[in-house]
Each structure stands twice: as structure tokens, then as C-alpha cells.
Amino acid sequence: MERLAKEIETCSACNLSGSRTRTVPGEGPVPCRIMLIGEGPGKKEDETGRPFVGRAGTILSTLLSDIGLSREEVFITSVVKCRPPKNRTPGREEIASCIPFLHTQIEILSPEAIVTMGRVASAAVFEMFEIQFPSFKEVRGRAFPVQRQENADEMLIIPVYHPAVITHNPPARSILEEDFRQLGKYLHTIRDPL
């Protein structure tokens, strides 16, 4: 992972490299059982090089705590590793440039569950695993089992709302909290298999 982080740090495959302050490869245990994937770094993440350290990060930490997890137990990253200017949605070319890094992270981390936070992350990961993605509304809150590419072990892809949703739409807090309660039920079966 350290070598991959160095590759990410020097990447200039798309135009995001020209406006970044720092790359944000992600952080957490290696290997990990649970991997969380967001859309891309924001302003605070770009300044620090760490994922989910701004307002959305505070919300995420609380949501994880509510289901009995700490940030230290999960690996957190994003689809793109550089901040899109003004926090705009990353473009298809930018996602395509970064997706090999995410693919390699998944191979190295070998998680039992991948939690995709928001539409962009969900669509990118579904495409990576060749899963039909009708809409975020139709997939959110459900678990999608997939075979890992390198072995026969199964892992779950679980789309949830992005924690930043409540910074723009406070009434969505109850929906976000429900997503994480449902996530907690899925993860309970992974962390404490019968």
C-alpha cells in the first residue's frame, strides 16, 4: 500500500493533478474487513492528505460509532484520489484514470464488505464488478454479493447515502442513519459469523 500511495502521489494521468494540494490515497488497516469508498476528496482532505476529515468525516465517524465501529477498524478512500475543483463531481475521464488505483487497493485489502457512499462511488464500483446499476435509489441499502477476482471468496458491496448529504439537506439525516443501521445488520454477519 505504501508503494501504491507513492504512485498515487506522483500521478498526472488526469487534469485533477494540476489543481491538487495533496493526493488522498486513503487510510486504515491493511488488510481490512470493511472498506468505505466515497466520491473524492474535499477541501480539508486536499489540505491534509487524509480522507473524510471535514464535516462529512465528523458525520461518518458518528455513524460508524452508532453501529459499533471506529474509523481505525475500516479502510476509507475515494474513487478519485485528488480533489475536483470546487468539489464538483468527478468526470468520467477522471474516474477512469483513478479506477485502477481503487482496483489495486481492493485486491490488496481483500475486504469482506465494500461500502460505497453515494451515487458516484456506487456507480463506479458496480461498473468495476460488472453489476447492473439502474439507479442509486434502486441499489442503496441493499447488499450485492460478488466474487473476488483473485479467489473464490465472496464479498458484499453495500451502497449507502454519502455522509455529506446532510450538510446540504439536513432532513436527510434520518435516511442516512437508516442506511447505516441497515449496514450495521449486514456487517454484524461479517464480523460475527454464525
pLDDT per residue as tens digits for the range 98-156: 999 999 999 999 999 999 999 999 999 999 999 999 999 999 999 999 986 655 578 99
Whether 36 has a pLDDT exceeding 80, the answer reads: yes
Could you tell me what percent of the chain has a pLDDT over 70? 95
Domain limits for position 164: 2-191
- For residue 132, give the amino acid letter: Q
Q: What is the pLDDT of residues 54-88, one digit of tens each?
A: 899 999 999 999 999 999 999 999 999 999 999 99
- Name the average pLDDT for the chain: 93
Q: How many domains does the chain have?
A: 1
pLDDT score, position 151: 58
- For residue 23, give the amino acid letter: T
Q: Residue 100: which H helix or E strand, with range? A: helix 92-109
Q: φ and ψ at 144, to 5 degrees?
A: -115, 110
Q: Are 176 and 165 in contact (CB under 8 A)?
A: yes
Going by pLDDT thresholds of 50, 70 and 90, the confidence category of residue 12 is: very high
What is the CATH number for 14? 3.40.470.10
